[in-house]
Amino acid sequence: MAKKSLDLVAFRPMEIMDLPQIELVEKSSFPTPWPRKAFYNELMFNQFAYYTVATYDEKVIGYCGFWLILDEAHITNIAIHPDYRGRGIGEATLSYVMDLARKLGAEKMTLEVRVSNEVAKRMYEKLGFVRSGIRKGYYTDNKEDAIIMWVTLNEREQKDHHSGN
């Protein structure tokens, strides 16, 4: 498969019609994928939820979601289809979502990442996230620990290297 050009990737809000493609990305990305109904409930009933899709040639190739509560955004999940990984699409997607959260009033953003997920940890650190703790046995499939990470979205505070706690 030819390398996909990052400038052909577009971002937009997730819609109900995207859910079949989201389900494919989810199942190819996680050992315990969210069911389609969970995404449906997020889109239809969760007033705090914001989900963005990354598209290439109008095909959904990834997504990222967060909950915005007061001034904190919590990444619920992020995934890029395996066929499109290694091209900077995850980083571009998260950067887009960080900007969206900032525009919506978030001052900080947090997420959890598997201790074993070196690629994701490097990406998060590249975007300014710092480690702030561990959630023991967080992942239900194998009881793996999660690293809690935070980033300050307010550019003035970010220069002070504030950890978000």
Complete edge-to-edge strand list for the sheet that includes strand 108-114: 9-13, 49-56, 59-69, 72-80, 108-114, 146-152, 130-135
Helices 89-103 & 118-126 angle (0-180, nearest 10):
50
Count Cβ atoms below 10 Å from residue 52 Cβ, excluding itself. Answer: 19
Catalytic residue among 124, 125, 139, 157, which?
A: 124
- Secondary structure of 47-92 in HEC code, one letter for each residue: CCEEEEEEEECCEEEEEEEEEEECCEEEEEEEEECHHHCCCCHHHH
Q: Is 51 a catalytic residue?
A: no
Of the listed 112, 118, 125, 157, which one is catalytic?
112
Q: Is 42 among the catalytic positions?
A: no
Report the catalytic residues. Answer: 112, 124
